[in-house]
Structure 1
Amino acid sequence: MDDHQVAIYLVAMVVGGLIGRLAPAAGPGLEHAINPVLGALLFVTFLQVPAAELFRSLRDGRFLTAALVVNFVVVPLVVAAMFAFLPADQAVRLGVLLVLLCPCVDYVIVFSGLAGGSSRRLLAATPLLLVAQMLLLPGFLYLFLGPDLADIVEPGPFLEAFLVLIVVPLALAWALQAWASRRPTGQKVSDAATTTMVPLMAATLFTVVASQVPKLGDSLTDVAAVIPFYAAFLVVMAFAGKAVARLFRLDTGAARAIVFTGATRNSLVVLPLALALPDTLAVAAVVVVTQTLVEVLGMVAYVRLVPRLVPERHHR
């Protein structure tokens, strides 16, 4: 399944889109399934984010600083340059901000490894990237949306989604990691849970797309309009990531990993936040999932092109 995960995700989204269009009445029922499936997926995702590595990762100062700079300095500047050209719809804009401002902490490690990037360094950096994005996201949203943010986002459902779908799965995942480090049984449970990543991801994509497509209404054009922005983001961040890696004089593996972490976004972790928005902003969730579709295709290209963009001679 890992070898064919891109095809599986694409099929899940296409089938979900067809169900959403052909059987819109199924939407409300499928919507009730989103939180359980998404909670399970995020638990498995966080299970692969090693809590024990959090303090160890701080020792690799140069790589870690490069990862923080590319994700929390360069990316917001790129998003700011794009922001004025986005569709005027507030839900679309909020969806784009949610997904592009948060770096990926899960399958980026797999794709980076396929392209010869340093998966070990990226894995060690993921806990810090996860904590940093959760702390910085509210501030970034306020910078882009200003006082309007209070009118757009109701804090109650937002905080509930953060607690139930992010904090609880993260705590359970790190508890299982602690058990796995002490007991063989815990390790077996952890290994078994990890194998469910691809089917859970496919189930989540199917469920979200099928349940949200009927809500699109007249917003389909605006959602489609963000696809070129997502594609442009991938192109720009490939070169921006390379520039940051060169600035910090990273070796080839580390440089490729920086390119990947700058380009891949955390759509699944911010999805609960998009789903917690009021019904008037329901399109934001589809905008977030649309980014996944573009990114999955983009990662196929990245695996082939990043080794050419950052060749072995880049080593210093």
Structure 2
Amino acid sequence: MTRATLERRQVWCYLGAVLGGLIVGTLAPGAGHAFEAMVWPVIGLLLYATFTQVPLTTIAAAFKDTRFLTAALIGNFVILPLLVWALVQFLPQDQAIRTGLLLVLLVPCTDWFITFSQLGKGDTARATAVTPLNLVVQLLLLPLYLWVMTGGQFSAVFAPRDIWPALVVVVAPLIAAGLSELWFRADPGRERARDLLGWGPVPLLALVIGLVAAAHVGAVRDALGLLPVVIIAALAFLAAGLALAKIMSVIFGLPATQGRTLAFSFGTRNSFVVLPFALSLPAGWEIASIVIVMQSLVELLGMVFYLWFVPHALFPARGPRT
């Protein structure tokens, strides 16, 4: 199996991981705390493997195409957050559900976004260039978004003493990946190490999803009634991402390949980066992490539709002039 084949079939890997995790958690209900403890180091490895595929030292390259950059930043960090805030107003008055959706829908993806852009005939070079910038901006703005959209309850829910492990799990791999990037660039022969790490995100994310399902099988069972709410919210967001990509592409006069890249950027979210923050929430907030896993699965299934719709219907290739 090639890495491209693995990435094309990742949706089924994650669905199998959920099913396997639920079965294991049901058969071993007393092992929930052990499974939850295992999630943290696996997430750290996942983030490190993923960040090494995002060349952080190429952030400057993202500034070369100002039209595409402006469209991507305005869409991801101005318009979509406003749409997300409007969307959660229609959800049940459950802070755990709302917090989970806010966490996952407010931050653009930095891993499979590039893969789907490539598979969907987008501009992979621009996707790669803008991804590290998206990562830095979202880490800076997410606390502000949460503080504003939760009515100031952000500091009460995300107490520093509870959230610092999540910060370490995100920041440490980011620093390690930055140092690794310098090491890779020092010798072209070391790129093989980066390529080997590129095999890690799909199986590691599948393992994380399976461990979360196994650790919180009771919460998953209790949250089945919320599944329609999460599905509707996730589908509404996916539809909004398509519409916004088309509008921004027209406004900024972007070619079809860049419009496709915008669509995949707006439609994919950074679930694995915010999952540690959801897992660090106090007892009684387990639903937030379940919501994030649910949303990511709906999103990945939605990407199957995106891969057909975006290049063939939304941004079709223009034929030769006659």
TM-score strictly above 0.5: yes
Question: CA 1:23/1:258 → structure 2, altered by over 3 Å: closer, same or farther?
Answer: same
Moved more, 46-55 or 17-26: 17-26
159 and 245 in structure 1: CA distance in 2 versus 1, 3 angstrom threshold: farther
Q: Which amino acid aligns with 2:246?
A: K
In structure 1, the partner of 2:317 is 312
Q: Which moved more, 1:178-187 or 1:6-15?
A: 178-187
Partner of 2:165: 160
Q: Does 1:111 align with 2:116?
A: yes
How far did residue 92 of structure 1 move?
0.8
Q: How do 1:1-316 and structure 2 match up within 5 A?
A: 1-162=6-167, 164-184=168-188, 186-216=190-220, 218-307=222-311, 308-313=313-318
User: What SS class does the counterpart of residue 312 from structure 1 fall into?
Assistant: coil
Q: State which drifts further: 95-104 or 228-237.
A: 228-237
The answer as to whether partners of 2:106 and 2:142 remain within 8 angstroms in 1 is yes
CA RMSD of aligned residues (A): 1.8
Task: Indicate if the aligned counterparts of 2:84 and 2:105 stay in contact, CA closer than 8 A.
Answer: yes
Contact 1:86 1:226 in 2 (8 A): no
Contact 1:255 1:310 (C-alpha < 8 Å) held by counterparts:
yes
AA aligned to 1:15 is G
Judged with a 3 Å threshold, the aligned counterparts in structure 2 of structure 1 residues 115 and 146 are, in CA distance, closer, same or farther, namely: same
Report the residue type matching 1:89 in the other structure: D
What 5-or-longer segments of structure 2 have no aligned partner?
A: 1-5
CA distance in 2, matches of 1:209, 1:242: 36
Q: Distance in 2 between matches of 1:311 and 1:229?
A: 27
> Residues 11 and 297 of structure 2 are in contact (CA less than 8 Å); yes or no, is this contact kept in structure 1?
no
**Cα deviation per residue 1:102-159 (whole Å; 9 max; x = unaligned)?**
0000001111111111111011001110011111111111111112222222122223
Structure 1 residues 78 and 314, CA, compared in 2 at 3 Å: closer, same or farther?
farther
Contact (CA 8 Å) 2:53, 2:194: kept in 1 or not?
A: no
Equivalent position SS for 2:111: coil
Change (3 A) 1:217 1:278: farther
**How far has the Cα of 1:216 moved from its partner?**
4.3
Separation in 2, partners of 1:58, 1:159:
32
Counterpart Cα distance in 2 of 1:209 and 1:254: 36
How far residue 225 of structure 1 moved from its aligned partner, in angstroms, is: 2.1
Partners of 1:119 and 1:314 in 2: CA distance: 21
TM-score w.r.t. structure 2 length?
0.93
**SS state of the match for residue 56, structure 2?**
coil
Shift of 1:223: 4.7
Matched-pair contact (CA < 8 Å) for 1:176–1:186: no
CA distance in 2 between counterparts of 1:232 and 1:286 reads 19
**What fraction of aligned residue pairs are identical, expressed as a percent?**
42
* Whole-angstrom distance in 2 between the partners of 1:115 and 1:189: 27
Once the 2 structures are TM-superposed, how far is the Cα of residue 217 of structure 1 from its aligned partner? 6.1
- Matched positions, count: 314
- Decide whether the 8 Å contact of 1:252 with 1:314 is kept in 2: no
Question: Structure 2 vs 1, CA of residues 157 and 314 (structure 1 numbering), >3 Å: closer, same or farther?
Answer: farther
Q: Could you tell me how far 1:250 is from its partner in structure 2?
A: 0.5
Amino acid at match of 2:149: F
Please say if residues 15 and 206 of structure 1, whose CA atoms lie closer than 8 Å, have aligned partners that are also in contact. yes
